[in-house]
Amino acid sequence: MKNLEEKTIREETIFQGRVVSLAVADVRLPNGETAKRELVRHPGAVAIIPLTHDGKIVMVEQYRKPLEKTVVEIPAGKMEQGEQREKTALRELEEETGYKASGLDLLTSFYTAPGFADEILHIFVAKGLRQQKNSLALDEDEFINVIEVTLEEAKQLIEEESICDAKTMYAIQYLELQHLKEENN
């Protein structure tokens, strides 16, 4: 079968939240039949791999209600309407960690769960970090501990399942590959 596209016949938003909306769509399948699709709509997000001058990774520790546990992650956040992804990354880095970066490099972008959501996540590497005094600007319902870990400590946090999300595990894998490349040169 060459054409795999599903044509939307009708779509209804059934929930509009602060972070996501939920829609139900009726679609025409490639074989002419119809089906329903539940769709999570998200404006997109960024994640930042902040590296200190001594090679440590600045991370955030926070409670995640869907998991019912405290986890360690790289800083991340939702893009605001019309906001450029670089601006979002710099804003989220400073708000969540108190660090400013002199530079950002886009590492990659990927869809987090394309089977039901349109969220795209842009991962940046932040360099030239400068810690700002008293510059955390957390949302009123956001509680975060900022920590700095080595690559080895981050790998241990994965083993302990304190790091358990895809974006952070991807970041650690990336840094490990960079480390191996440097060793082999």
Tokens of 50: 């902040």
Going from N- to C-terminal start, the domains of the chain cover 7-41, 45-184
Q: Which residues are catalytic?
A: 140
Please tell us whether the domain made up of 45-184 is placed in CATH 3.40.50.2000.
no
Three-state secondary-structure class, residue 95: helix
Q: Digits of tens for pLDDT over the chain (185 positions)?
A: 689 999 999 999 999 999 999 999 999 999 999 999 999 999 999 999 999 999 999 999 999 999 999 999 999 999 999 999 999 999 999 999 999 999 999 999 999 999 999 999 999 999 899 998 666 667 788 799 999 999 999 999 999 999 999 999 999 999 999 989 988 98
Structure tokens, 95: 């708000």
**pTM for this model (two decimals):** 0.90
